[in-house]
Amino acid sequence: MKKKDFVTLILSTIGGLLFALGMCMALLPDWDTLYQGILLGGLGALVLLAILPVRRRMEGRPALVWNPRAAGITLLGAAGALVLGVGMCMTMVWEMLVPGILVGIGGIVLLLCLIPAIKGLE
């Protein structure tokens, strides 16, 4: 295993665990740790975001390069994930079954739009 892959593995494991634990702490009312969960989840998100510049530096490339296409694809992915998440919340938490399913399908469609945006159409 190459060094850059090992570092990515370690950082993604730590970041994912911190993020998941933080979200559990924030979203489970029985634990009564909303603010601590937000802090821990934010720390996990920062560790996950730090993977990109760290890996690029280990490959000998500049840490961050501004690319409007990549920024648009990132925004499309984030919007799709948020819309899908809102649809799931509408269905499971707010008990709005049919509207939640429709919003969730909209999120799935947005995420499916990533495929031609990244790979292109032939």
Kindly list the domain boundaries of the chain, sorted by start residue.
Answer: 1-65, 66-122
CA dihedral 93, 94, 100, 103 (to 10 degrees): -90
Separation of alpha carbons 12 and 80, rounded Å: 22
- Token pair, residue 37, equals 């969960």
pTM confidence score? 0.67
Per-residue pLDDT in tens (0 to 9) along the chain, 122 residues: 899 999 999 999 999 999 999 999 998 888 899 999 999 999 999 999 999 999 999 999 988 888 999 899 999 999 999 999 999 999 998 889 999 999 999 999 999 999 999 998 88
